Amino acid sequence: MSFDSSRSFLMSQRAADQGRNMHVFSLSCFPQARMAGGFNLNRIHLTAKTFYRWLYLCDEIINFQRGLKDAVVLRKIRLRTVQALLYAFEEIEGPPIPRDSLQLIEPGIYGIFSADGTPFTRYFCSPVRFHPSFKDQEVQLVWGDPSFKGENDIPINLKVLAGARDKGRCFITGRTDLPTQCVWILPPLATFGRDHSDPMAFDKYKVVDNLITICSALADPFMRNLFAVDVEDNTRIITFDDLPSGSPTLPSHLPTPPSPSTMDYWKYAFIYTLAIFFPAGEVKEDYSNPEYDSNDLIEELQDGYAELAHPKWQSDIGREALAVYWQLACPTESELRDERERRYATELDEDASDEPGYAV
């Protein structure tokens, strides 16, 4: 969980570790605002046109292929804290960003609005749900069902075919002077949930077109989705997180365009990667301990039995709960003025009552 003075809200440690400085909030429960996702724009340079395309792609995979078909626009907004971990729309701080704009998106806090300028109140993306990496997903599926073990293994005959085709050339960098190995563009298990009704679903992804030769040092980062290829943006290589030290330098784009027969694998692998890095970010990702329930923290303060020496009050959520409590407990400037006037009037009455001849 993380908070700093440049923001008016808490976000998960995962989102903070990504270095997000663009924060997109859903207004589906307007006026409540819930974090839908975000990016580190210092790392990823995004035009508005590209962002909208990515937003639709990400919503499609997060919301089980329903897809975001409505014409939505981004607008900068200001939030206010209503309760610990509960934020609301305060006001609009910028015009709608045109959907076809080639201007780079700037860091900031954004809300999703309908094209007519009203808050977009349909559910999209998710404040808490995101995908694991290819590598982590395989571990999770096998742990839940051992029958998945081995589904991502590459058959030896396909390795031979891919090796003969690529001749030791890394498809990502174009280099031939480094050790290489074969990897899936889209691991078969990554399609779990996409074709789960098809008993042969995984097998149809076990084809040589779904394999590339890659520098061995890039194989693990690729399976952890630290980078991916946006084939719809002239095969631009997007680095979503730091690569291990000593990794080969990635070019800005693939040195050789993918063949048409591989495009679907590249596209879905990229969409899957977006679903790892864009969605969610609510601080609830970090807390399962009931001691850190925001409502309970406020209740402890209101009932007067909060032990402020407890470490939870030094956490970000504890400090926000304290701030909200004091905001609720402390009188406003108007209330203080009214109280001063009331006391002044009372004092005048008391002074007058002490004068000779005063009668009620």
Task: Express each pLDDT in 100-112 by its tens digit.
Answer: 999 999 999 999 9
- Choose between 347 and 144: higher pLDDT: 144
Q: What is the pLDDT of residue 211?
A: 97
The model's pTM is 0.81
pLDDT, tens digit (0-9, with 9 covering 90-100), for 213-248? 999 999 999 999 999 999 999 999 999 999 999 899
Quick check: 125 pLDDT over 70?
no
Residue 23: which of 111, 88, 154 has the closest Cα? 111
Quick check: 157 pLDDT over 90?
yes
Task: Spell out a b/e string for 276-312, using b for 16 or more CB atoms within 10 Å of the CB, else e.
Answer: bbbbbbbbbbbbeeeebbbeebbebbeeeebeeeeeb
Averaged pLDDT, 327-354: 59
Averaged pLDDT, 124-141: 85
The alpha carbon dihedral of 349, 353, 357, 360 has a sign of: positive
| Range from 68-72, 232-236, 290-294, 339-343 carrying the lowest mean pLDDT | 290-294
